[in-house]
Amino acid sequence: MIDLTGRDFLSSLDFTPEEVRGLLAFARDIKSGRVRPNLAGKVASLLFFNPSVRTRVSCESAMARFGGAGITLNPGKDTWNFECGEGVVMDQNTQEHVRELAPVLSRMGHLVGIRKSELITVGLDKAAVSSSYAELAKDEFLHRFAEFAEVPVINLESNRWHPLQGLADALTLQEKLGEPRGKKYVLTWTWHPKSLPVATPHSQLLAACDLGMDVTLLHPQGWGLEPEVVRRARARAESQGGRLSETHDSDAALKGAVVVCAKEWGSLDYYGRFEEEQRAKEPLRARWMVDATKMHSTDDALFLHCLPVRRNVVVSDAVLNSTRSAVIDEAENRLWTAAAVFGALAGG
């Protein structure tokens, strides 16, 4: 059984591809009932700065099924606001410093999970970006918290990464494909009325690369992912006997694909200029939804999406309702991979 006791899980880059595979094996064993993660009497404090269904329920359920408990906090709603700057005179709107919050939550439980994502759009027509992407991608609160925490910290989605989603995708790929190595995987951008964060596609891309797949990142010009993330994902793919290419050509990308993972995300070029982006991407809407025609040009590909998904906007009913859609299994795997991560980090 994999032992990652005391380690943080802020991104899959925190682990070697071998450690990632170890976590996946542990998740499979938990799912099959062969082993139980040792979570009895253990507590995970879960800080949700953003709303959540799958992450919250999968994390709380993972703890509860094995005798532990998740305690969900909604900072700024049922608590106050947190400071992470150094040397700040805190006479304004922050009431607690991460230098206290992190060790205190560490003493109360055995694990801490944090979801903190500066959403790009609020509702359908408003941008809410407080800073540049380069600045936000530092995930300062998360890293500062981890620095001062005394127990493992798990990223439940930051501005840059959503590693639990990556793990769940990887588990699904293993289950459905047997050995994913060398098989063709496409991560395709899709149109969406809002400009969604890039954390999830970053972690999804990395997951397929960690499995040594033949990965294609497909998106319109101007909607690429963070170059440094792509560079590191490519290096991981190559280290595992796979590769990563990037294209705007949908036909070339889909041909021969055995997996199509759809994801909507906002442009980093237009970051914070939501109305401009909206106008620029309007012509893309019709061509970038995943529909049956697109799926027919693949090699009978499996369809993945992290959910929630806007039906007939991101992907058509026909694709989602087909037997090739694995989105429900993929979501279920959030539970088993969370249980594996919690168990491995909390010591068994």
State the residues that interact with a copy of itself by CB under 8 A: 41-43, 45, 48, 51-54, 56-58, 60-61, 64-69, 71, 73-74, 77-80, 83, 87-93, 95-97, 99-101, 103-105, 107-109, 123-124, 193, 307-313, 317, 320-321, 327-328, 331-332, 334-335
**Minimum CB distance to a copy of itself smaller for 243 or for 310:** 310
Judging by beta carbons within 10 Å of its beta carbon (0-12, 13-18, 19+), is residue 24 exposed, middle or buried?
A: buried
Quote the radius of gyration of the chain (alpha carbons, Å). Answer: 20
Nearer to a copy of itself, 15 or 82 (CB): 82
CA distance 39 to 138: 31
CB of residue 243 vs a copy of itself: minimum separation in angstroms? 32
Collapsed DSSP state (helix, strand, coil) of residue 258: coil
Smaller CB distance to a copy of itself: residue 12 or 316? 316
CB of 343 to a copy of itself, least distance (A): 14
| Distance, CA of 36 to chain centre | 24
Cβ 329 to a copy of itself, closest distance in Å? Answer: 8
* Shortest distance, position 44 Cβ to a copy of itself, whole Å: 10
Nearest to 26 by CA among 60, 59, 1: 1
Please give the Cα distance from 308 to 292 (Å, whole number).
Answer: 20
Distance of CA 68 to the CA centre of its chain: 24
The residue written with tokens 């909607």 in the block is: 223
CB 337 within 8 A of CB 143: no
- Half-sphere exposure at residue 47, Cβ-oriented, CA atoms within 13 angstroms: 28
Nearer to a copy of itself, 152 or 212 (CB): 152
Question: Closer CB to a copy of itself, residue 115 or residue 236?
Answer: 115
Taking the complex as a whole, how short is the minimal distance between the CB of residue 199 and a copy of itself, in angstroms? 17
Shortest Cβ 289–a copy of itself spacing (Å) = 10
Burial class (CB in 10 A: 0-12, 13-18, 19+), 347: middle
Is the Cβ–Cβ distance between 98 and 81 less than 8 Å?
A: no
Question: CB-wise, 146 or 215, nearer to a copy of itself?
Answer: 146
Q: Is-contact 82 75, C-beta < 8 A?
A: yes
Of 11 and 58, the one with the shorter C-beta distance to a copy of itself is 58
Shortest distance (Å) from residue 196 CB to a copy of itself:
11
Residue linked to tokens 């099959």: 32
CB of 333 to a copy of itself, least distance (A): 9
Residue closer to a copy of itself, measured from CB, 95 or 247: 95
Residue 293 Cβ vs a copy of itself, minimum distance, rounded to whole Å:
17
Q: Which residue, among 264, 199, 187, has the nearest Cα to 229 in the 3D structure?
A: 199
Determine how many CB atoms are found less than 10 A away from the CB of residue 80.
11
77 contact partners, CB below 8 Å, separation of at least 6:
none
Closer CB to a copy of itself, 54 or 236, in the complex: 54
